[in-house]
Structure 1
Amino acid sequence: MKFWKYHGIGNDFIVLDCITDPVPVDPAWCEQVCDRHFGIGADGVLYILPGQGTDITMRIINADSSEAEMCGNGIRCVAKHAVDTGLVDKDEFTIMTGRGVLKAKVRKDPDDEYTSFVQIDMGAPILDARSVPVDFDGRFIDQPFEADGVKFHANAVSMGNPHFITFDDIGEENVRRLGPVLEKHPFFPKKTNVEFAQVKDGKIHITVYERGAAWTLACGTGACATTVAAALNGLVPFDTPVDVRLPGGWLKITADSKLGYVLMEGPAELVYTGDIDYLR
């Protein structure tokens, strides 16, 4: 079975074309091949499936075998792959995801045949706390929180998957300790992604503990959720592209002032292709 290895600013994925070569979505197999010592190694597996009233469909299985509703860096890789391999014959198209239909625009990097820049309309952020979901009524924005003896202010935003964001400087030691603690905290009935963010000179810098994948080099939905939270807290402007730095590189995020959409733009790069037996 052929696979493609991609990354979006360091968030890496195994891509499977299940339109040309149908295989079942198999979470246990995904966990095996994502192992960085005994498998191919990746943060997750991206299945490209026939469209459901859209051009294509994407499903995401994390490295721990759980399924994610959405993945911002992953969808850019899927969009690039669909254009490069002819699964779609246009540069603007629709993708069905766990959070609904999203629109993609792809433009190739004229200086690098392996890289494309992809813009995704990520849809509207979800701010109702019960819908994120977190155990709170109303919006959970700039609210006090305590975990493992550390007090800080935080924000809960969903981009189809849950994110918990703090802009407080709690120190590197607490960041490393709280990432896995917060992911599985009972406040989050479906667990959560965690973003530790700082705003410097109008740019957002984020460290991410990703639900189902632990510390990652990037999280596209996390960059979107954090930008929305930053704008709601008056730290960055609405309706203006904001540079967002993750450990693996930069994204550009625009949050609509009416909270009707969030635009994400960033690179997607093919790393290599290969063949693997589909064995359990």
Structure 2
Amino acid sequence: MHFWKYQGIGNDFVVLDGSKGDLEIDTEWCRCACDRHFGIGADGVLYIMPGEGTDITMRVINADGSEAEMCGNGIRCVAVHAFNYGIVKKTTFTINTMAGIKEATVTLDGDKAVAATIDMGAPILDGRSIPIDWDGQYIDEDFAIVRYFFKANAVSMGNPHFITFQEMDDATIDRLGPMLECHRLFPKRTNVEFCKVIDGKIYIRVFERGAGWTLACGTGACASTVAAAINKLVPFDEPVDVHLPGGWLKITVNKDLAFVRMEGPADLVFEGDLPEEYSE
């Protein structure tokens, strides 16, 4: 099986081209391929599939074999790959995801796409729709786990995010990340973002559902910027610089919460082949 390895500010993926409809999703293959010792090594696998009323479809399989509704860094990698390999012929196109249809616009360096801007759609704030076990919005609410007490927020960008701006040391963050991912408040588990805002910029560490600690999370950057804007920590309708361990993104949150726009790079690292029976 031919594959491409991409990274979006350190969030890395195996990309498979099933745009001709000749590829089936194999979650066990994905789990083995993502293994960093015995496989290719990645945070997840991105399948490019035929469009469903769109130009293409993206499916996201996490490193543990579970499927994610959406992936912000992944969709930029898919957009850049789809343009550079002629799967789509235009610079603005639509991508179907399990979180709805997203519009992608690639940025060119010469005739090559090197980055993408994604209209991520409207954030979801209703607790039951995120989903969390909570009625109404969960914004700047008190939260307690073990001996830790802090304010937190819940936002979905098609996938659930639990966000705090509470000052914490690294040891506390290291402990809380995996505990919060599986907390009973989240019926489908959650991504967890530990944020601080300094001089109008957001700095994030993220524990991703199904992948663990990663260098970046695009939907997490979007959800965190939504929470920061609602809490009046950053402005609406202006690009906000968001730093993750792997690099920077620009996130713009519409004041009416009609859309969130994400801008960032995507890079091909290498390509290769694995035997079809690899996971057996």
* Counterpart residue number, 1:187: 185
Q: Aligned AA for 1:215? A: W
Per the alignment, in what secondary structure is the counterpart of residue 213 of structure 2?
strand
Equivalent of 2:238 in 234, 237, 240: 240
TM-score under structure 2 normalisation? 0.97
Q: Aligned AA for 2:250? A: K
Equivalent positions of 1:1-80 (< 5 A) are 1-20=1-20, 22-80=22-80
Equivalent of 1:222 in 220, 223, 229: 220
Please report how far the alpha carbon of residue 21 of structure 1 lies from its aligned counterpart in structure 2 after TM superposition: 7.2
Q: Whole-Å Cα distance in 2 between the matches of residues 265 and 16 of structure 1?
A: 23
Equivalent of 2:197 in 196, 199, 202: 199
* Counterpart residue number, 1:147: 145
Q: CA RMSD in A?
A: 1.1
Q: Whole-Å Cα distance in 1 between the matches of residues 135 and 154 of structure 2?
A: 11
The C-alpha deviation readout for 1:97-152, integer Å capped at 9, x for no partner, is 01110000001235x96x61100000000000111111111100000001121000
Q: Whole-Å Cα distance in 2 between the matches of residues 19 and 209 of structure 1?
A: 31
Equivalent of 2:163 in 146, 162, 165: 165
Q: Whole-Å Cα distance in 2 between the matches of residues 263 and 79 of structure 1?
A: 15
Equivalent of 1:256 in 248, 251, 254: 254
Q: Whole-Å Cα distance in 2 between the matches of residues 37 and 149 of structure 1?
A: 36
Q: Whole-Å Cα distance in 2 between the matches of residues 278 and 14 of structure 1?
A: 15
* Counterpart residue number, 1:108: 108
Q: Aligned AA for 1:249? A: G
Per the alignment, in what secondary structure is the counterpart of residue 197 of structure 2?
strand
Please report how far the alpha carbon of residue 43 of structure 1 lies from its aligned counterpart in structure 2 after TM superposition: 0.3
Between the aligned residues of both structures, percent identity stands at: 64
Please report how far the alpha carbon of residue 52 of structure 1 lies from its aligned counterpart in structure 2 after TM superposition: 0.2
- Contact map agreement 1:109 1:117 (CA 8 A) in 2: no
Q: Whole-Å Cα distance in 2 between the matches of residues 219 and 77 of structure 1?
A: 13
Please report how far the alpha carbon of residue 22 of structure 1 lies from its aligned counterpart in structure 2 after TM superposition: 2.0
TM-score under structure 1 normalisation? 0.97
Please report how far the alpha carbon of residue 23 of structure 1 lies from its aligned counterpart in structure 2 after TM superposition: 2.1
- Contact map agreement 1:92 1:103 (CA 8 A) in 2: yes
Q: Which runs of 5+ in 2 are unaligned?
A: none
- Contact map agreement 1:152 1:170 (CA 8 A) in 2: no
Per the alignment, in what secondary structure is the counterpart of residue 229 of structure 1?
helix
